[in-house]
Chain A
């Protein structure tokens, strides 16, 4: 089955700086890659997703890049703000989601 690795497990950045979270996947047939943000005690919320026929997608301060050949994808958050502090999960999907282990992002004011 699919295996998704996510790094780093924790990340602290100064407010206003950029944050990058990286994931690798094992199943070359996976074709859908969402990113979820989960605040403490709340539901995972989809923040951006990308499909395998696209290399990059951007939505305001958030962008995702996908390298199908290398089987890795990354989340980029620019101009970070305190409300970006949360746990972020990547996932890869062919027919069902396999989640990465999560990254706890802390924005330092």
Chain B
């Protein structure tokens, strides 16, 4: 009965080699988020989609891109991973942004290792 699913759970990539992380949801939520979380730190929002509308955080590096081909799926593309991009990447969803719709549900995360 997993609601927010992330694959893979662990991803190893080489320095500079493009990598794609995936997220899917069975909740039919309108909003999907990507967060980066480094050890002992709070999750940091990279971007989010409200339906098909893409919203990028001002300090998200250009190296990070995202795609949402349909309601259920969202992808995080890292074009040229650097050592500093090693982190846990968390996907989250919410019904919307209005009252009673903003509760976010997190997936289990993908831990990215860059060699």
Contact = CB atoms under 8 A, between A and B. Distances in A.
For chain B, give the interface size range: 10 to 19
B43 interface: yes
A31 B99 CA distance: 9
B103 A89 contact: no
A100 B43 CA distance: 9
Classify the secondary structure of B's interface with A.
loop
A103 to B, nearest CB: 11
Interface residues of A, number: 21
Nearest to A31: B99
A43 B109 CA distance: 6
17 contacts: A32-B102, A42-B109, A43-B106, A44-B43, A46-B105, A49-B103, A51-B99, A89-B43, A95-B97, A96-B97, A97-B45, A99-B42, A99-B43, A100-B42, A101-B42, A102-B40, A102-B42
